[in-house]
Amino acid sequence: MKYLFILCLAVISLQAFSQTGSLIHVGSAEGMTISTGGIFHADGMTITPTEDFTLSNTTLSRVSVSTAKLANQASRVYQFSNPSSSFSGSLNMNYSDSELNGLSEQNLQLFIFDASSWHRQLTQNDVSNNILSSNAFKLSLSEITAAVFFPNLIFTTSSIAENSPLGSKVIDLIGTDENVTGEQFTYSLVSGTGATDNASFKITGSELQTNTALNFETKKTYSVRLRVTDAYGRFDEKSLSVAIADLNESPTALAISKSNLYESNTINEVVGLLSTTDQDAGDSHTYSLVSGSGSTDNAAFNVSGNQIRASRVFSFSNKSTYSIRVRTTDKGGLSFEEVYTVSISQLPTLTGTGNDFGTKIQATASTTPKISKGYTSNLNVSGSDIVSYNWNPSSSLSSTTTYNPGATPNQTETFSVTVTNRFGSSTTVSITVEVMEVWNLIANNILTPNGDGENDKFVAENLSSYPNNQLIILDRSSRVVYRKTGYANDWTGLFNGSPLPTDTYYYIFTFDSHVAPIKGFITIIN
């Protein structure tokens, strides 16, 4: 059923427009797009071809008409030209309820737009469905900044501090609409571009709130997509980037590279290096010894930078464990404390074997070993928790990385070994091996030069230690059958290229003038 709707426009006092083109808007479901020139909207109504719009000022005349679909409304658009400073008129329309999709036309207002501003009627007139007519008299207009027909979602760039409690407000959501006074809006999170992190937030009323723990170190920005919806179901959507503000957070852990030191240390020797675990990337930390539980032995140590250092010389036999309390403080003044036990390790023991004077009999190991020149001292370092060895000098050692190398120096020499224990502490101990110039040559007294590999040469043990030697061999008649300076244990019993007969011969080793000759007998068996 169709009803006749008559809206009478009263005489309106209005500032003169500076140029042609104005807009007159009737209806509460606006949804229009501003276009060049003046536009008349009758939203929410399906206009029949018999509509009639008359104005007492005939200079305001309709120049065009069109129909547009705006949201879920049908609109008829009129464009007028040449408005005057005052006018009156009436609009006759026919419409049916079914064509309004259940929407009621209420609170009709008048909007006029000139080249520089929007104007809106201050008074409102209720023109509900099925009411045949309504009159609006003496409508006064006030300037407004804009006429927004679809709802508009407004928010500013937002941020929230990390670690905020769940349900913390991020921003207030604001919807605007130049619709009826007191327009109600609903807000929601929707899918689409920018909705990546919707699940991390929620909406309560008109507030966007957190719905998960936010950690700057894990994720610095979040993206959500928001919608505002008005009472007519029209909506506006926008994406919002939420920045997470980095807060200074307390250090969470304190570590030390080692907490051990060998006794007999030096003052300010490093016990261990400190490091801090902190969620704040790039944060800096200072360290200190502080009082409290576990700080019993703080006075025995000091802190320099990130180093724990010894303030005294420790003795394992006096005390082997110490307790200290350490604090790490970040640049924002937040701190964390830890108690450490510093252990003192006993110095390792270093010994070496020797040999009895003038013999090759090995002597008991001691810290002051003596060997005959050319003989070997078996060194040995022992201690608890040792994991590596480094000996020097290396020239006369059988190994530099074992606990028991053999040392064969040609002169008295001091050997040092640096040991490292399982805690990472190192210390160096030394031993001096005394070499005795005893000219201790022991020659074999049997020569059987038959090529079987046994007693094929005349050999004097330890001769290589005395390269400045001279060997003379005589037969029974004192005839010289062999002579060599710098003998090297290589004579096979030949005389003038022929084997000497089986017999006993006499040898003489001579050295420097101040050393007595070494003499003996050798039997050749052919």
Measure the N-to-C terminal CA separation of the chain; round to a whole number of Å.
151
Residue 261: CA count within 13 A, CB half-sphere: 28
Same domain? 402 vs 514: no
Same domain? 262 vs 363: no
Please tell me the predicted confidence (pLDDT) of residue 176: 74
Does residue 117 contact residue 137 with C-beta atoms inside 8 Å?
no
CA distance 75 to 31: 9
Same domain? 428 vs 489: no
pLDDT for residue 52 is more than 50: no
pLDDT for residue 408 is more than 50: yes
Sign of CA dihedral 451, 452, 456, 461: positive
CA distance 146 to 342: 76
**Total structural domains in the chain?**
5
pLDDT tens-digit series, residues 422-466? 999 999 999 999 998 777 777 888 999 998 989 999 998 878 778
CA distance 231 to 31: 12
pLDDT for residue 402 is more than 70: yes
- The pTM is what? 0.55
Chain centroid, CA 41 distance in Å: 61
pLDDT tens-digit series, residues 8-51? 222 222 222 222 233 333 333 333 333 333 333 333 333 232 23
Please tell me the predicted confidence (pLDDT) of residue 304: 97
Question: 354, 361, 359: which is closest to 406 by C-alpha?
Answer: 354
Q: Which amino acid is at 77?
A: V
Same domain? 14 vs 124: yes
- Residue, of 65 and 520, whose pLDDT is higher: 520
CA distance 41 to 24: 7
Does residue 290 contact residue 329 with C-beta atoms inside 8 Å?
no
- Residue, of 508 and 106, whose pLDDT is higher: 508
pLDDT tens-digit series, residues 203-236? 999 999 999 999 998 899 999 999 998 776 778 8
Please tell me the predicted confidence (pLDDT) of residue 513: 65
Chain centroid, CA 9 distance in Å: 72
Residue ending a domain, among 107, 127, 144, is 144
Contacts of 122 (CB under 8 A, 6+ apart): 139, 140, 141, 142
pLDDT for residue 69 is more than 60: no
CA distance 441 to 459: 10
Q: What is the longest distance spanned by two Cα atoms in the chain?
A: 169
Same domain? 158 vs 274: no
Same domain? 181 vs 294: no
pLDDT for residue 72 is more than 70: no
Least confident range of 3-7, 424-428, 496-500: 3-7
Supply the CATH number for residue 199's domain. Answer: 2.60.40.60
Secondary structure of residue 214 in the 3-state scheme: coil
Please tell me the predicted confidence (pLDDT) of residue 421: 97
Residue 393, CA distances (Å) to 379, 427, 465 in order: 13, 16, 19
Task: Kindly state the tokens that stand for 449.
Answer: 């030069």
Supply the CATH number for residue 481's domain. Answer: 2.60.40
CA distance 109 to 135: 12
- Residue, of 100 and 387, whose pLDDT is higher: 387
pLDDT tens-digit series, residues 255-266? 999 999 999 999
pLDDT for residue 55 is more than 90: no
pLDDT winner (highest mean) among 46-50, 125-129, 492-496: 492-496
pLDDT band at 518 (very low <50, low <70, confident <90, very high): confident
- Residue, of 118 and 432, whose pLDDT is higher: 432
CA distance 123 to 106: 13
Residue ending a domain, among 390, 417, 436, is 436
Does residue 285 contact residue 303 with C-beta atoms inside 8 Å?
no
Same domain? 69 vs 201: no
With 0-12 CB in 10 A as exposed, 13-18 as middle and 19+ as buried, what is 145?
Answer: exposed
Same domain? 192 vs 295: no
Round the CA-based radius of gyration of the chain to a whole number and report it: 55
pLDDT for residue 275 is more than 60: yes
CA distance 405 to 397: 6
pLDDT for residue 138 is more than 90: no
Question: 373, 352, 349: which is closest to 364 by C-alpha?
Answer: 352
Rounded mean pLDDT of 124-153?
42
Same domain? 16 vs 112: yes
Least confident range of 122-126, 164-168, 399-403, 408-412: 122-126
pLDDT for residue 510 is more than 70: yes
Same domain? 335 vs 366: no
Average pLDDT of every residue of the chain: 75
Rounded mean pLDDT of 484-501?
93
Contacts of 389 (CB under 8 A, 6+ apart): 381, 400, 401, 402, 403, 417, 418, 419
Question: 8, 94, 83: which is closest to 45 by C-alpha?
Answer: 94
pLDDT band at 107 (very low <50, low <70, confident <90, very high): very low
Residue 369 is part of which domain span?
Answer: 349-436
Same domain? 278 vs 220: no
Secondary structure of residue 377 in the 3-state scheme: strand
CA distance 39 to 64: 9
pLDDT band at 149 (very low <50, low <70, confident <90, very high): low
CA distance 452 to 505: 22
Residue ending a domain, among 381, 406, 436, is 436
Output phi, psi for 299, to 5 deg. -65, -20
pLDDT tens-digit series, residues 316-338? 999 999 999 999 999 999 999 99
Same domain? 124 vs 239: no
Please tell me the predicted confidence (pLDDT) of residue 150: 61
Q: Apex CA 414: angle with CA 411 and CA 418, to 5°?
A: 145
CA distance 371 to 393: 18
pLDDT for residue 183 is more than 80: no
Chain centroid, CA 267 distance in Å: 36
Contacts of 292 (CB under 8 A, 6+ apart): 325, 337
Residue 378: CA count within 13 A, CB half-sphere: 7
| Residue 174, strand partner residues | 154
Q: What percent of the chain has pLDDT over 90?
A: 53
Task: Kindly state the tokens that stand for 482.
Answer: 């062999």
Secondary structure of residue 465 in the 3-state scheme: helix
CA distance 119 to 122: 9
pLDDT tens-digit series, residues 350-366? 999 998 876 778 889 99
Tokens 């980037």, located at residue: 241
